């Protein structure tokens, strides 16, 4: 592994139609390797991690462009999620499962990963189709987050878990985790189960939770509310409480426990 100070941002041009990444600019791969502080034994993995599906789709089966980054994104998503979970557990093992889930979810959120990619100037290195280029793909949150995950997946395949862990710890976790923990300590919205569930679902790309009141019992001064939380029109869990807000929090907590148990069983 080679270390280097981050080079200044470089202006890149879209490569000619159908040209491989090396046509972008001589030395571009090496520049990004310096930013990532890793020299790839298989630089084609990094090239693939930077290739958006729009490039391959525009040129068709006869194109010399390599595979797009979607499967590397899938792998990187799993790696960054595992490393983030282990990291917050080791740092803050005294926290509840819901709080740890919230911390991890914020660290692996699309917004945060896109911000990390932005700090690495990753958008400058992307291979995009003409349509995506014209629509501002180099600055889109989704594309940047996906590319960041793909780069992590490529690094994992090239050099193993420890190399990927070093990048994730230094670029994804360390810049944010302390402030997140402080928010949690100050009860600034970090510790509630509804937020934790939303971040967990976001990290798993499973959609947004919806809460529906399913019933209430008792006199006005001693009511009990029942709330169901649903995702993609499917029931996840039901909670109850003395107010609707409490019932929603209970439902969210039960949903988190159910999702985590299901994930461990797989």
Task: Single out the residue of 198, 220, 224, 192 nearest to residue 211, CA to CA.
Answer: 198
Q: Distance between CA 116 and CA 93 in Å, rounded?
A: 25
Active site residue 77: yes
Among 47, 149, 228, 248, the active-site one is 149
Among 47, 68, 77, 192, the active-site one is 77
Q: Distance between CA 194 and CA 180 in Å, rounded?
A: 16
Residue 103 tokens read as: 């911390």
What is the full DSSP assignment across 147-159? HHHHHHHHHHHHH
Active site residue 30: no
Residue 34: partners with Cβ closer than 8 Å, 6 or more residues away: 2, 4, 6, 7
* DSSP-derived 3-state class of residue 171: helix
Angle at 110 between CA 121 and CA 76, to 5 degrees: 80
Q: Which residues are catalytic?
A: 77, 149
């Amino acid at each position: 592994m080679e270390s280097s100070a981050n080079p200044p941002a470089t202006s890149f041009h879209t490569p000619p139609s159908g040209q491989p990444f090396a046509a972008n600019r001589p030395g571009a791969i090496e520049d990004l390797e310096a930013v990532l502080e890793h020299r790839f034994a298989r630089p084609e993995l990094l090239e693939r991690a930077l290739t958006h599906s729009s490039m391959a789709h525009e040129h068709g089966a006869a194109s010399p462009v390599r595979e797009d980054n979607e499967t590397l994104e899938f792998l990187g998503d799993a790696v960054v999620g595992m490393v983030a979970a282990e990291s917050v557990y080791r740092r803050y093992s005294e926290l509840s499962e819901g709080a740890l889930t919230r911390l991890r979810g914020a660290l692996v959120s699309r917004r945060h990963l896109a911000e990390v990619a932005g700090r690495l100037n990753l958008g400058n290195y992307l291979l995009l189709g003409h349509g995506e280029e014209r629509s501002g793909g180099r600055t889109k949150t989704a594309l940047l987050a996906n590319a960041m995950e793909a780069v992590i997946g490529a690094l994992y395949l090239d050099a193993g878990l420890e190399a990927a862990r070093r990048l994730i710890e230094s670029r994804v976790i360390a810049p944010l985790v302390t402030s997140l923990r402080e928010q949690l300590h100050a009860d600034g919205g970090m510790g509630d189960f509804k937020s934790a569930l939303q971040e967990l679902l976001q990290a798993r790309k499973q959609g947004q939770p919806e809460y529906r009141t399913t019933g209430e019992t008792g006199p006005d001064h001693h009511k009990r509310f029942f709330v169901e939380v649903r995702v993609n029109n499917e029931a996840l869990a039901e909670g109850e409480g003395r107010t609707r807000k409490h019932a929603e929090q209970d439902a969210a907590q039960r949903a988190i426990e159910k999702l985590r148990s299901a994930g461990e069983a797989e």
